[in-house]
Amino acid sequence: MKRQEYKISFEPTGRQVYALPDTILLEAAAQAGLILQTPCGGAGKCGKCRLKVVSGACPPSANCRPALGETEVAQGYRLACQARIQGDLVVEVPVTSLFESQQQILVQAADLPPGSARALSPGRSASAEPGRPGEMELCPAISKHFVELDMPSQADARSDVERLRTAIRPTDFDPVGIRLLRLLPGLLRRQGFRGTAVIVDGDLVDFEPGDTTSQCYGIAVDVGTTTLVGTLINLKTGLDMGVEAKINPQTSYGDDVIARIRKCREDAKGLAQLQRVIIGAVNEIVDELVRAAGIDRAHIYEIVMAGNTTMQQIVCGIDPSALGELPFVPVFTDAPHLNAADLALEINPCGKVFIFPQIGGFVGGDTVAGIVASRLDRETETVLFVDIGTNGEIVLAHKGQMIATSVAAGPAFEGARISCGMRATSGAIEKVVMDGDLRMNVIGNTRPAGLCGSGLIDTVAELLRLGILDPTGRLRTPDEVPSTTALALRKRLIEQEGHVDFLLAHKTETVSGKPLLLTQRDVREMQLANAAISAGISILLEMEGLKPMDLSRVLLAGAFGNFIRRNHARRIGLLPPIPCDRIRFIGNASSLGAKRALLSVAEKQAAAAIARAVRHVDLSLSPDFQTAFSSAMLFPEDDPGKGCEG
């Protein structure tokens, strides 16, 4: 008997889908192409996926009232990740619940002029100033050779493969695979023994009609937990031909890697689902790049991918479950050998895929790519590399050696677990200044909808500077703040239920018509994330007998790291108290490292050597980490950021 299905209509888009009884609302929204915020991974705790049921049967779950409150539940609001469909529904989707596609995504390396990956002659070594991207060596794994072969004759009855091998020497290739062996006789004879031999990573993969040597492309992909960035590169010139960025659709299953590991552990189809959606998103990026550049996707011969350990294993269809339990063991450290067809990537069918090697635990390929991009492995000074995110990766280079660790900072910097938190998309408060009253920048120049990570850091740093927040992280009452505190700021302190909240925006100023508050609990969540990064840095420095002032430079990588203000990051203790001119933004280092590997075989070899050379430190087993973490929960007493701008 056919199972009953219910029609779900989503307003204001008008999209409609059909769902079986007891389907969770979040799944129906995903079917309709609506990606909702789910920073808690669908645990029903954050309240970010709230939808309003306008009509139909969808009773509240046990989590709805604690997360949303009695009033909102009575008005028809439900947690999309918890509420189950019991009949036809008309659902209103608040703009604040959508995981906006226009999130700020950094796609350009900070120190590299746009589209200027410099092409060098094959074999010429690339020089680089330490800590800067420098020049890119152009010696890719792909080579194309136009040949006009002699026709076979009684006097020359060499095999087709040997005839080709002789024609393209000194370049050589490995034994030819069975697929091309079956095609080669027809290709050669239809084309009159005239065409272009394509060699990828030592394999003869195609024999194309005519001279196609100028049409040789590859794509570098930064596989982030939150975002995907793909860059199309002309492998003959080394120049960028286009960049596309998308939200990682896996966010529908949770904002952090732990939620996705849990999905794989608890759902028999979880791994297949997560791999399918991310490969689909990468193919969409390929589609857009091909369309915009006006090229044939068959002339894309390699995709290089860099991501954290969990993301890389899921992309490969490898179960990451072991990363969810001590001792956090990855399946591979060396780069796996993959063809595009293995992952259903829609480029040349015989194209190759390079997945970055990994260091250990949660220190994955994106960190290796960051080291490749920043030339950290070539440093002669003491340099700290920090990629701030849900998982913070930290690498210390000292005396020609590198040690690395990762810390579970949590999603506070991504806006999760913050009462008015949101990602860096339209409506997010991304900058806060307090000079007599509060001034703010809002992404999209619109009414504020919430507070993103950079705005959160600004707010806390400013409150510390003014003495409104004490070093323990407690918001002071209006009577306790310094007498010099401006009246307008004093009025923003709201005492309720035994604690103090700070008013960011009045209800008349916001998108939702509700006030935006930084609560005492929000400050505590931020302290946890802040302390994890700070403690990780402290432990690595202590292991090498170093103090913060011994650092020649701190390199801040990643999109979020590029948007925070250095003085405020120092004020809250997130970064060491060193002069701001020693703190450098290096942009999307993972993406740049992937581009380097695409442009040069030597860079891939360097990545392999780096992964083996870096010493991995697992702080979950360190007896000193908890002490350092507890100490870092306190904000610095003084202001190390004085005189430091930006």
Q: Are residues 484 and 609 in the same domain?
A: no
Q: Are residues 535 and 404 in the same domain?
A: yes
Q: Are residues 542 and 393 in the same domain?
A: yes
Indicate whether 127 belongs to any domain.
no
pLDDT, mean of residues 497-519: 93
Of residues 129 and 459, more confidence is placed in: 459
pLDDT of residue 115 exceeding 70: no
Q: Are residues 156 and 221 in the same domain?
A: no
pLDDT of residue 105 exceeding 50: no
Beta bridge partners of 584: 555
Q: Are residues 535 and 562 in the same domain?
A: yes
- How far apart are alpha carbons 378 and 400 in whole angstroms? 8
Indicate whether 176 belongs to any domain.
yes
The pLDDT value given to residue 128: 36
pLDDT, mean of residues 396-404: 96
Indicate whether 539 belongs to any domain.
yes
Beta-carbon contacts of residue 475 (< 8 Å; ≥ 6 apart): 463, 468, 469, 493, 499, 500, 501, 502, 520, 523
Beta-carbon contacts of residue 445 (< 8 Å; ≥ 6 apart): none
pLDDT band at residue 121 using 50, 70 and 90 as cut-offs: very low
Q: Are residues 257 and 340 in the same domain?
A: yes
pLDDT of residue 282 exceeding 90: yes
The pLDDT value given to residue 131: 36
- Write down which residue in 190, 209, 228 finishes a domain: 209
Tally of domains within the chain: 5
Indicate whether 362 belongs to any domain.
no
The pLDDT value given to residue 4: 65
pLDDT tens figures, 231-278: 999 999 888 899 898 889 998 888 788 899 999 999 999 999 999 999
Q: What is the CATH number of the domain that holds 196?
A: 3.10.20.880
CB neighbourhood size of 488 (10 A):
11
The pLDDT value given to residue 563: 66
Indicate whether 266 belongs to any domain.
yes
Q: Are residues 402 and 426 in the same domain?
A: no
Indicate whether 124 belongs to any domain.
no
Percent of the chain with pLDDT over 90: 66
pLDDT tens figures, 580-621: 878 887 878 899 899 999 999 999 999 999 999 999 999 887
Q: Are residues 261 and 343 in the same domain?
A: yes
Q: Are residues 293 and 346 in the same domain?
A: yes
Indicate whether 121 belongs to any domain.
no
- How far apart are alpha carbons 212 and 384 in whole angstroms? 45
Q: Are residues 430 and 535 in the same domain?
A: no
pLDDT tens figures, 464-478: 999 999 999 999 999
pLDDT, mean of residues 198-226: 93
pLDDT, mean of residues 339-363: 95
Of residues 43 and 499, more confidence is placed in: 499
pLDDT, mean of residues 52-71: 92
Q: Are residues 405 and 531 in the same domain?
A: yes
Worst-scoring range by mean pLDDT, 10-24, 25-39, 78-92?
25-39
pLDDT tens figures, 140-165: 999 999 999 999 999 999 999 999 99
Q: What is the CATH number of the domain that holds 76?
A: 3.10.20.30
When computed from its CA atoms, the radius of gyration of the chain, rounded to whole angstroms, is 27
Indicate whether 368 belongs to any domain.
no
Q: What is the CATH number of the domain that holds 604?
A: 3.30.420.40
- How far apart are alpha carbons 533 and 575 in whole angstroms? 8
pLDDT of residue 66 exceeding 80: yes
Q: What is the CATH number of the domain that holds 257?
A: 3.30.420.480
The pLDDT value given to residue 560: 66
pLDDT tens figures, 522-544: 999 999 999 999 999 999 999 99
pLDDT band at residue 548 using 50, 70 and 90 as cut-offs: very high
Supply the range of the domain harboring residue 575: 375-411+527-632
pLDDT of residue 374 exceeding 60: yes
Give 505's Cβ-side CA count (13 Å radius): 25
Cα–Cα distance list, 128 to 136, 289, 535, 562 (Å): 9, 29, 31, 21
The whole model's pTM is what?
0.80
Q: Is 215 helix (H, G, I), strand (E, B) or coil?
A: coil
Of residues 145 and 642, more confidence is placed in: 145
Mean pLDDT of the chain: 87
Q: Are residues 588 and 621 in the same domain?
A: yes
pLDDT band at residue 426 using 50, 70 and 90 as cut-offs: confident
